[in-house]
Structure 1
Amino acid sequence: MTTFKELPLSATLQHKLEAAQFITLTPIQERAIQPALDGKDVIGTAQTGTGKTLAFLIPVIEMLRREHSAGEKSAGEKSAHTGALVLLPTRELAMQVHEQYENLRTKTMPKAALVIGGVSEKTQIQGLRAGSSLIIATPGRLQDLTDRKFADLRHIKILVLDEADRMLDMGFLPAIRRILALLPKNRQTLCFSATLEASVAGLVHEYMRDPVRVALGSVLKPAESVELKAYEVRPGEKIEVLRQLLYAEKGQTLIFTRTKRGAQRLAQDLARDGFTATMIHGDRSQSQRNGALSGFQEGRFQVLVATDIASRGLHCDDVAHVINYDVPKIAEDFIHRVGRTGRAGLSGRATTLAAGVEIVELRNIERTLKLRIERMQIDPSGAPQPKRHVQNTLASRTLTALPGEVFV
């Protein structure tokens, strides 16, 4: 089975998928959708950008369609019960899943309730009181609304935990446990994660029933479609190297920093240099985050500067280049960052700038991931040269590769 047409889906959903140009199944979709359609619990581990969203949305949509049709036949009206719940770690990711659902649902199917922090509760509460058949939510806001009796989860038939490892990393385990305690014991659970670390494995053991396990290769390796390179520079050289990379880049670039303050300062510096740059981090208001993300997705900004909190919530297929302006502290964050490019069958580039102690941190990441990242060098002539021949000034330099230089 390699195409969506081979799946036992309704004609209306098949038409929606074809209209959206979803033709060929990705490996995670090929192995996860059918067991989910059969009503089995599924735990899927795969790299970011592998099509996990459709792997759980298609079974959810088919279940809701069947429930909706059965409700109309038996009662002459739509069921008021919520049938599916999707939990995600960030507002941006929840909004993108909601948009994907709205694009695939038919006009007769119910709309989804989007329950996220950072926006007014009023509309969300109205949607929950109206009996939305699907809730797409972040754990913190949903727990708050369930505690105040605004959400009834007693009739959930499918629970989806997307980016489960990230939700646990962000401290959502207590909220998830409180939410799961409200769900029926005989529900179906679909859990997707970039890694199956101990905390996720414990969650699977406690809340899933004999799940079908779908694991695609090593979950701690970047996609082969992403070209990895790195520069080892002095701290004061980073910004100039970044400028030269951006001057040479025609596509959209996503830049990661470790801190909110660093993201703010870097985006402002780049804007002063004439780049169309924006930023997304935790201190920005929800409207500012939405505006930055939509502007980047629509091509109005060439550069988006983000902190790690956003690295798993950004789903932009057109990112040509990811730049780690600050080296991430752990290997998994490196994978999450570089997974923002090389998506949907496209090639991508990921460049890391390391200075000072970051050079050691980058080498530790390489050892953990068993990667060989090609080292690049600043060269005044534009031709590859060994490090010992490179001058110390950055004036008028271009960026070139050191032939054969890699590190493990």
Structure 2
Amino acid sequence: MVGIDMSKFEDCNINDDLKADLERIGFVEMTAVQEQAMSPALDGKDLIIRSKTGSGKTAAYLVPILNMIGRGRKPRALVVLPTRELAIQVNGVAERLGRRSRIRSTVIYGGSSMARQIESLERGTDIIVGTPGRILDLHDRGFLDLSAIRYFVLDEADVMLDMGFIDDIRKIMSFLNEEKQTFILSATMPEQIVEMASDFMHDPTTIMVDSDEVTVKEIDHYYTITKRNRKLQALQNYLKTYGPQKTIIFSRTKAGTKMVCDFLLNKGYNAVMINGDMSQSQREKAMYLFRNRVEYLVATNVAARGIDIRDVTDIINFDLPDDPKVYVHRVGRTARLGSDGRAFSIVEENQKDAVRQIERMARVSLRQIRMQD
């Protein structure tokens, strides 16, 4: 590859149908992780990719897989993700990139009709995108044949670990043929992930691009200090003053998401919420509205896992998280792929030390602003 400009997809050694679909959906210039992953992935190497969410890592594995997979009678690629929302998003990308080459992709996840997913599998598919529990359930019931899998992707591996899926992942991997290409992607690399990689991968190529520290440094950080009973007023003042566009507002509790969402709706703002008390259909409807029509999404940290929306302009911490790492993960949902981002935190009077901890851990400066009534 020496002397060849590999910064654009059109310069990669991939088929013309895939290039056309990439161009159609606006994927022209490769991100850093895509550029580093493309050549070894196309050469069939196992890859360990450490890269933040929003760096373009989904295309870093989907493009090589879609280029190599071809049509078949059984699924030959399996992509495992921790949440339903993320599985739906990745499957959507796979469908758009496989349109001209007619590569079929099916998404499977819990909380939705198993009969419909079985029907989709029986019609035939080339790529399975799903969550661990539903993958195991359909496999154990005999509806999901993993015998022909040649490409295996474990995305958001550290989130899988945090959510207690590590044993399910090992069980899934035990069903797969040893002669496969494996991709493991994670924002961090805990010891258990490294150990699993050594057990199931063959001489993997390791790519490390973009840490959380880089993410937060690309964002403008603000905070205000207020009394607990003035937090809603501080939120409204921020919205009036800064006019954020596509915004995720984090609340610590499920009751908090309802309180904040109701407040915004009563003030005339377009807002939806997601939390653990909602059904899957309710969550999917809320996410559809947020992507296409609504400006503000109010969410708990757990419910927001796996949300990957490229045009989020602002992150608002209605409740400041206790753990600085949670702050970093929250605000990392803005400033995607080089775009601008802004983070605003509403800090109660007894939480000033938490601001200093975030600044020390993330190596950023949070600028205090006063939200006047």
Quote the residue 1:8 is aligned against.
13
Aligned to 1:274: 268
2:63 paired with 1:54: no
Match of 2:3 in 1: none
Counterpart code for 1:27: A
Residue 44 of structure 1 pairs with residue 77 of structure 2: no
Contact 1:258 1:307 in 2 (8 A): yes
Once residues 194 and 362 of structure 2 are traced to their aligned partners in structure 1, the CA distance between those partners, rounded to angstroms, is 21
User: What is the CA-CA distance between 1:187 and the residue it aligns to?
Assistant: 1.2
Q: Which structure is higher in RCO with an 8 Å CA cutoff and minimum separation 6?
A: 2
Q: Matches of residues 347-362 of structure 1 in structure 2 within 5 Å?
A: 347-362=340-355
Paired residue secondary structure (1:228): strand
> 1:363 Cα deviation (Å)?
2.6
Deviation sequence 1:203-233 (CA, Å, 0-9, x none): 2222222211111243444244321112232
**Counterpart in the other structure of 2:258:** 264
TM-score when normalising by structure 2: 0.93
For residues 49-198 of structure 1, what are the structure 2 equivalents within 5 Å? 49-65=54-70, 68=71, 79-198=72-191
Instruction: Report the AA paired with residue 109 of structure 1.
Output: R
The total of aligned residue pairs comes to 367
- Post-superposition offset of 1:320: 1.5
Q: Are the equivalent residues in 2 in contact too, given 1:221–1:335 (CA < 8 A)? A: no
For the residue of structure 1 that corresponds to 2:30, the secondary structure is coil
Give a deviation string over 1:287-328, Cα, whole Å, max 9, x none.
211111111111x22211011124342222222111011122
Q: Match for 2:329 among 332, 336, 340?
A: 336
Shift of 1:179: 0.8
Counterpart amino acid of residue 40 in structure 1: K
Cα contact 1:311–1:340 (8 A) shared by 2: no
3-state DSSP of counterpart to 1:50: coil
Q: Counterpart of 1:42 in structure 2: which amino acid?
A: L
- Matched residue SS, 1:354: strand
Would you identify which runs of 4 or more consecutive aligned residues in structure 1 move more than 4 Å?
Answer: none
Matches within 5 A, 1:203-282: 203-248=196-241, 249-282=243-276
Partner of 1:283: 277
CA distance in 1: counterparts of 2:103 and 2:209, whole angstroms: 33
Quick check: 1:312–1:336 contact (8 Å CA) kept in 2?
no
Code of the aligned partner of 1:210:
D
Q: Are residues 368 and 344 of structure 1, via their aligned partners in 2, closer, same or farther at CA, if it must alter by over 3 Å?
A: closer
Deviations 1:104-129 (A, max 9, x none): 11355242121111110012112223
> Letter of the aligned partner of 1:234 in structure 2?
K
Q: Any conservation in 1 of the 2:66–2:103 contact (CA below 8 Å)?
A: no
SS at match of 2:183: strand
TM-score by length of 1: 0.85
CA distance in 2, matches of 1:108, 1:59: 13
User: How much does 1:365 deviate?
Assistant: 2.7
1:237 Cα deviation after fit? 2.2
- What does 1:303-382 align with in structure 2 at a 5 Å threshold? 303-378=296-371
Provide the secondary structure at the position in 2 that maps to 1:149: coil
Equivalent in the alignment of 2:287:
293
Give the RMSD, CA atoms, in angstroms.
1.7
Separation in 2, partners of 1:357, 1:206: 47
Please report how far the alpha carbon of residue 52 of structure 1 lies from its aligned counterpart in structure 2 after TM superposition. Answer: 0.8
My pick for the range that moved more, 170-179 or 104-113, is 104-113
Deviation at 1:51, TM superposition (A): 0.5
Is there any run of 5+ residues in structure 2 with no aligned partner, and where? Answer: 1-5
Which shifted more, 205-214 or 53-62?
205-214
- Provide closer, same or farther for how the CA distance between residues 332 and 311 of structure 1 changes in structure 2, counting only shifts above 3 A: farther
Gaps of 5+ in 1: 69-78, 379-396, 399-408
* Identity level (%): 38
In the alignment, is the contact (CA less than 8 A) between 1:80 and 1:130 conserved in 2? no
Taking the aligned partners of 2:100 and 2:14, their CA distance within structure 1 comes to 17
The offset of 1:345, in angstroms, is: 2.9
AA partner of residue 264 (structure 1): K
Distance 1:146 1:208, change over 3 A: same
Q: Counterpart of 1:13 in structure 2: which amino acid? A: L
Query: Are the counterparts in 2 of residues 220 and 332 from structure 1 also a CA contact under 8 Å?
Result: no
